[in-house]
């Protein structure tokens, strides 16, 4: 059975799901999106994702043509149409069809698209044994150019760093900001553990406020694990006892080597394992 894709109020077979070549989402990356998970038939952190979608749209002066409750209904309709109980959702809002020029006022109506499918970010053994990452030479966008807090369709900054990781034979790269501080990875937020404290960069360092990142900070609080948002530099990465990444697609994955250097004893640490277990219990619940 062909997967169904929701576009502006209609369900289309995956093979027939189309947008115009004049859509400014395609021409200029002018739009916003969310990646969302469904676990056991429930949309995970739906309110947080929808809130960020509308905040991102507001930041680029894009008016989403539907209220949040109707978008949620469209997501639920698409999940049901594809008979999924566990899946990944890509919710997209583009500026809409325009002309061959930058002026967004020439676009007719924004488009809303809902895609549901399965996703596997990394091989299962990486979740068990940990992954190796590098630090990229490509720095994160400056907040006064294109704010990383906007989850926009323009991901070229991340893609260039991802290419560096692939060229180095690893699946992910850590991105620094213009000051040399740790921001995030190409698609995931980063955490380290040092002396029993979980640490992650704050939003001022140039990162997307990941929904799973927020869940992880809440789990730390619930489990009594000290945590904070702080400035991290490459030196802190190399001295870390543990490291892990979080993201909607990636979920929670341990990091055991950074730039070829072992993190701790080069295997997932006890706090990382404890948080991964707590996350799995949460999504199953």
What three-state secondary structure class fits 211?
Answer: helix
* CA angle (148, 115, 12) in 5-degree steps: 145
Is residue 53 within 8 A of residue 91, CB to CB? The reply is yes
Cα-based distances in Å from 159 to 25, 136, 163, 165: 17, 11, 6, 10
**Measured distance CA(216)–CA(205) in Å, rounded:** 18
What three-state secondary structure class fits 10?
Answer: strand
Candidates 56, 119, 125; CA nearest to 90 is: 119
Candidates 151, 86, 135; CA nearest to 243 is: 135
Q: Which of 58, 80, 106, 151 is catalytic?
A: 151
- The verdict on whether 151 is a catalytic residue reads yes
DSSP output for 55-114 = HHHHHTT---SS-HHHHHHHHHHHHHHTT-SSEEEEEEEE--B--SSS-GGG----EEEE
DSSP 8-state secondary structure symbol assigned to residue 203 = G
Position of tokens 């895609």? Answer: 115
Positions marked catalytic? 151
């Amino acid at each position: 059975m062909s997967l169904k894709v929701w576009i502006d109020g209609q369900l289309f077979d995956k093979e027939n799901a189309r947008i115009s070549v004049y859509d400014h989402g395609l021409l200029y990356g002018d739009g916003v999106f969310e990646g969302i998970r469904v676990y056991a038939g429930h949309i995970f952190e739906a309110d947080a994702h929808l809130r960020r979608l509308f905040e991102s749209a507001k930041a680029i002066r894009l008016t989403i043509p539907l209220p949040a409750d109707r978008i949620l209904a469209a997501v639920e309709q698409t999940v049901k149409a594809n008979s999924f109980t566990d899946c990944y959702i890509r919710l997209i809002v583009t500026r809409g069809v325009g002309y061959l020029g930058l002026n967004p006022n020439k676009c007719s109506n924004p488009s809303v698209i809902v895609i549901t499918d399965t996703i596997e970010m990394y091989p299962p053994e990486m979740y068990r044994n940990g992954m190796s990452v590098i630090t990229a030479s490509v720095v994160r966008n400056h907040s006064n150019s294109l704010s990383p807090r906007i989850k926009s369709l323009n991901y070229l900054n991340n893609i260039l760093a991802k290419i560096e990781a692939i060229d180095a034979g690893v699946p992910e790269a850590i991105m620094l900001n213009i000051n040399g501080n740790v921001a995030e990875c190409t698609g995931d937020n980063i955490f380290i553990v040092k002396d029993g404290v979980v640490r992650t960069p704050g939003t001022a360092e140039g990162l997307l406020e990941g929904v799973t990142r927020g869940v992880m900070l809440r789990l730390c609080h619930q489990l009594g694990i000290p945590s904070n948002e702080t400035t991290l530099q490459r030196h802190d990465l190399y001295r870390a006892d543990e490291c892990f990444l979080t993201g909607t697609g990636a979920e929670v994955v341990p990091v055991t080597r950074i730039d070829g250097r072992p993190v701790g004893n080069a295997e997932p640490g006890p706090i990382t394992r404890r948080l991964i277990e707590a996350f799995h219990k949460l999504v199953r619940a």
